[in-house]
Amino acid sequence: MKAYLAYLSKRLVQFAVVVFVGINITYLVTHMTPINPVEQSISAATSYGATSPEAIEMMRQSLRQLYGLEGTPWEQYVSFWKRVLVGDFGPSLSAFPTPVSQLILRALPWTVGLLLVSTLLTWFLGNLLGGLAGYYRNSRILRAFGVLSMGLHPIPYYVVAFVLLIIFGFLWPVLPISGGATMASDRSNTLAFALDVTVHSILPVLSLMAVGIGGWFMGMRSLVSNIVTEDYVVYAELAGVKRSKIMRSYVMRNALGPQVTGLALQLGAIFNGAIITEQVFGYPGVGSLLISAVHSGDYSLVLGITTVSIVAVSAAVLLIDLLYPLIDPRVEAR
């Protein structure tokens, strides 16, 4: 228990450091450049149409605070952190006067749901099949799957997304190709709505899974084929332990450790995966929000999304790290 607490505090400190450094990078990025995003954003927002002078003044005020143009550099830095810590990124410019935090909160469940489902499914299937392929080396089906997933692996996922879009959008239109749910759906009927959301997520999830599965598959296969030659496995086989039991408790369990670490790192790359997928399938998540924010010059929204994704990803990594000792008891001793 004491060892776990030491481990826990170490990870928590690391989480704080990661978030601190990450947000400082975004601060530096916005302040090292000679461009003034406040005036740039204001002019972008006003070019969209008539906004009242009071609204523009309010926008400028909140931007100046957020960007930190008031006071000495130190005061600027402190006021930036104050706002970030309470999650106040001011009003969005492109959807004035809706607060940025509200826009993000609306989009976040879509992205998290999509990514969580596809990442976990990919990880589970890739490891299961890879483990089986490493243990039952003579299976033809598993070998064919290995060749297929290795071929798919280096292909950019958005290419798969385009291909799926062409197949199911034009050649065989049975699945919805755009949006997160049917526009006029009745959200009070929970079951029907859930079904609708699930159907809409099939193609985006497939496009993310098709590419991701190969990496886990290959990693697990090579891990397992190394473990299979270990003495204790050979001994168990000679002693007549059932093969399925050897597979489950001797081989898979020992191979899972590095794969769990991999899962944590994968979560760090998750936001790259979602952005184009969301764009291609018109999914109403954070990625689509970020793209439209960039195109409409919405400084506070871009900054808000960047910060939230840094915190969210670091938190996910932390969570995995905290679960890690439960899977692999050897970790605690470190």
Which residues contact other proteins by CB under 8 A? 14, 17-18, 21-22, 25-26, 29-30, 33, 35, 37, 40, 151, 153-156, 158-159, 162, 166, 264-265, 268-272, 275-276, 279, 290-291, 294-295, 299, 302-303, 305-306, 309-310, 313-314, 317
Query: Where are the alpha helices (H) located in 167-285, listed in sequence order?
Result: 190-228, 231-238, 243-245, 253-268, 270-281
The values of phi and psi at residue 99, to 5°, are -65, 145
Q: 65 vs 307, which CB is nearer to other proteins?
A: 307
Q: Which of these, 162, 128, 131, lies nearest to 277 by C-alpha position? A: 162
Q: How far is the CB of 54 from other proteins (least distance, A)?
A: 27
**What DSSP letter does each residue of 94-128 carry, written as one string?**
TTTTSBHHHHHHHHHHHHHHHHHHHHHHHHHHHHH
Q: 236 vs 270, which CB is nearer to other proteins?
A: 270
**Counts for the chain of helices (H) and strands (E), in that order:** 14, 0
Q: 257 vs 268, which CB is nearer to other proteins?
A: 268
Q: How far is the CB of 257 from other proteins (least distance, A)?
A: 16
At 166, the amino acid letter reads I
3-state secondary structure of 91: strand
Structure tokens belonging to residue 225: 């084929």
Q: How far is the CB of 277 from other proteins (least distance, A)?
A: 11
Q: How far is the CB of 245 from other proteins (least distance, A)?
A: 27
Q: 38 vs 252, which CB is nearer to other proteins?
A: 38
Q: How far is the CB of 83 from other proteins (least distance, A)?
A: 16
Q: 42 vs 276, which CB is nearer to other proteins?
A: 276
